[in-house]
Amino acid sequence: MHIINIVGARPNFMKIAPIVRAIEERKSQGIDIKQTLVHTGQHYSPEMSDILFTQLGLPEPDINLNIGSGSHGQQTGRIMEEFEKILFDIKPDVVLVVGDVNSTIACAIDAKKLGIKVVHVEAGLRSHDMDMPEEINRILTDSISDFLFTTEKSGTDNLIKEGHSSDKIHFVGNVMIDSLISNLEKADKTTILSELGLSEKNYVLATLHRPSNVDTAKQLEKLGSCLTELAKDKTIVFPAHPRTVANIESFGLGHLFSKTNNIIITKPLPYHEFICLIKNSHAVVTDSGGIQEETTYLGVPCLTLRENTERPVTITEGTNILIGTDPDRILEEYKRIDSSDNKQAPALWDGKAAKRIIDTLLSVQ
């Protein structure tokens, strides 16, 4: 079996790393399996790409398409054009995609049209919000995939409701948690807390990057004012997405996101440093998807600044609170945080999801 593994954006790297290791482990046992790692270049800056490969122990990509940024249509189209050439050249048995970014759907379409099996890892997650580009990518990728690997029961339930055959669906656990577990010791050894002058549980970690939160002056100002209020209680550490930084500057909101307001803005952080900050924070305020999972596993309270989540298990079994974007609600829920209310990790979030994925693929070839 020859598998092409696709990465493109930062969240993909954490999801693909354990899969790459699981394949290499099976190869070392004499199993006839080969892999090619293709990086589309959707995220290409050192902070968003290069250092993650190093920290996660990923090999250099066998192929880098160097697509770069652009509109959704431009980016997806360029990926499809360049990746199709790779498929004609390599002729793999399987293309494995993860998550819900433009690279995910673009490479899945190319493979399917050429009669190559498509594997979707993290299948079935649904926010039920078609205004999210990621939701469109998830639904379309699932609709053409031959193997659907789910991280939680809601994913399996969603796929069944949409008419997918149960034979294609495999509940295997969460590869993001595989990476988290395997990197915790290294995360504990970072010096990021001392570098930022922080102490355990005495700061709040914040991330904002979704267009609905950062692409209009009114909404970004509202959330900036809210963070300023939270910072009266504890220091806010804010690793800022490049687009968020650009919008803060263009909207003239730098006065809200300033160190004088007890807010520390950093560049996007390497994985180990970021996990260390999550683990030792009093709470996390975010609009990210993956962070909801990481906080749940680590038992850290998470306030999610969205109207919906595609990861409901982080609410029903984890530490996530979905609160929307109303500043009053954010402040209200923050006051209720109980850091001692740790919960157990959801089923199969045990560091072995990638092994289950590869063993399943090998068992049906």
Crossing angle between the packed helical segments 102-113 and 133-144, to the nearest 10 degrees: 20
Residue 170 among the catalytic residues: no
Q: Are 198 and 228 in contact (CB under 8 A)?
A: no
Whose CA is closest to 79, among 108, 114, 113?
Answer: 108
**CA separation for the pair 325, 222 (Å, rounded):** 9
Whose CA is closest to 3, among 155, 138, 107, 151?
Answer: 107
| Active-site residue, selected from the candidate residues 209, 241, 272, 282 | 209
Burial of 242 (0-12, 13-18, 19+ CB in 10 A): middle
Over the Cα atoms of the chain, what is R_g? 20
Q: Is 77 left (phi over 0), alpha (psi -120 to 50) or beta?
A: alpha
Buried b or exposed e, range 96-106, using 16+ CB within 10 angstroms: bbbbbbbbbbb
Cα distances (angstroms) measured from residue 240 to each of 172, 209, 246, 326, 337: 32, 8, 10, 21, 24
**CA separation for the pair 47, 191 (Å, rounded):** 17
**CA separation for the pair 321, 312 (Å, rounded):** 10
Whose CA is closest to 277, among 172, 202, 169?
Answer: 202
Burial of 55 (0-12, 13-18, 19+ CB in 10 A): buried
Q: Are 199 and 296 in contact (CB under 8 A)?
A: no
Instruction: For tokens 């495999």, name the residue.
Output: 170
Residues known to be catalytic: 209
